[in-house]
Amino acid sequence: MPLAMDWTFEFQGSEVQWTEVSGGQVCLRFSAAAVRQGLGAALEDGHVKGLELRFTQAVLTGGDQPLCMGALSNSTLTIDGVAHRHIPVPFTASGEVRAELHFRSGTILSLSSTGVQCLPPAAPHFQVSYAC
């Protein structure tokens, strides 16, 4: 895995492949994570398959886990009172973490945790479009 990437993960427009809850851990794996690559004028929008968002010591406060898949819209990650709609990749933070993830299906996953990580896939590949 590269030490530094020029990616920014955006909740809006990302597609969750599955959500796993196990022993106080919550992991969302994305089939198409909306990512911005580059800086300044060289900024390019695209998607990455396999990106994971992991929460530690997590407590679900709302949402039906089996329904937490599909496209996200209007979602927020709040860390120590500061709301984020996008984060760098990779990303690690600890503190008072809250997430409210709105799925286009109408499902809302709400959780609180003590830490969050956003990790690229083992073999990262930036794709400008998944359109046929």
- In the chain, what percentage of residues exceed pLDDT 90? 77
Closest to 28 (Cα-Cα) out of 91, 101, 80:
101
**pLDDT value of residue 128:** 87
pLDDT tens, 62-108?
Answer: 877 778 999 999 999 999 999 999 999 999 999 999 999 999 999 99
125: left (phi over 0), alpha (psi -120 to 50) or beta: beta
Task: Give the DSSP per-residue string, 72-123.
Answer: EEEEEEEETTEEESEEEESEEEEEEEEEEEEETTS-EEEEEEEEEEEE--SS
